[in-house]
Structure 1
Amino acid sequence: MTTDLIRYDLLAQEALRGVVRRVLEDVMRTGVPGEHHFYISFNTEYPGVKISPRLREKYPEEMTVILQHQFWDLVVSEHGFEVGLSFSNVPEKLYVPFDAITGFFDPSVKFGLKFEPLSQQAEDKPAKPAAPASRDVPRGAASEPEISPPSRRKTDKAPKDEKIAAGEDATDDKGAEIVSLDKFRKK
């Protein structure tokens, strides 16, 4: 099995957290539209989560809040949101980083997102490769092909790259026409 060095799973999670941020930004500006309401679950142990000691004792690992009718002072930033809510008739102010969110659900339209716990994601990340010991490593960490002298086919007066650079049309090995960018721009 091939190792995913790009970590598409983490990129997708980050993008979906952006969806939550965008929804909350819209709610901050215009209020909750129609019958929409949101269940937001988050890891209470995540660094940066700010909740009262009373709530932390009651929800030591995970907590779910509902944003519908009775919340106030919603402030959304790039990294998290702050909101006022009432718990057993006691007003509380919470701050939740987006990375702490483990779930987002809007039951009015049956839309939900589940996020992997961020601590698990960090453990799953592959270790970064060690820096090269020598400065002689080519740019791109040897991912670029070595430069070799151009080979000329008997039928070509110049290699196709030279033709394209000169603004001429060329064909690739499969007979497809390659049009220079400059020629395309002139059309």
Structure 2
Amino acid sequence: MKYQRIAATLAALALPGVAHAHVGLHADGALAGLGHPFSGLDHILAMVAVGFWASTLGGKARWIIPSAFVALMAVGGAMGIYGLPLPMVESGIALTVAVLGLLVAFEVKVPTPVAAAVVGVCALFHGHAHGTELPAMAHAGGYVAGFLAATIALHAIGIGLASLRFGKAGQAAMRIAGWAVALAGAALLAG
């Protein structure tokens, strides 16, 4: 039942841009937004790691942490769309990938508000990058709704992957995956 609600929500978020009357002029906003997070490994790794880490923290954190990421990603996206500067965005994104990978690798346990603040800072960088890359002639609202829906889907993938952990082998696989994400972030930082 929960998965049906998630699927329905993602579909509903994609509809505003698709339903726009000026096909070809603004309709590509939601679709461009949906595709954008999947266009870079940095975004995929970070967003899946957020869902994974939130799931390992358990309880309400499983939903609060991804929600904090999505909310602050929207803020970062608006900043990017309106040209408000955020220093060192690309380096910040690479650093977030490394940090999130380490949080997963070490199964770092912190209170939910602290975790929400950490992912919120990460989200500002990712959102800003998405916002500054708003395609010409795309409807901004549809584009933002699209990249937020894609982000939610990637968080759900992370939560789902975390639920697959079984015993010591699953825990070892999780740590290896966390280290792989952290190393990818370090490689992105190195340029």
The structure carrying a bigger helix percent of its residues is 2
Q: TM-score when scaled to structure 2?
A: 0.23
Q: TM-score when scaled to structure 1?
A: 0.23
Structure having greater relative contact order (Cα 8 Å, sep ≥ 6): 2
The structure carrying a bigger strand percent of its residues is 1
Decide which structure has the larger Cα Rg and report it.
1
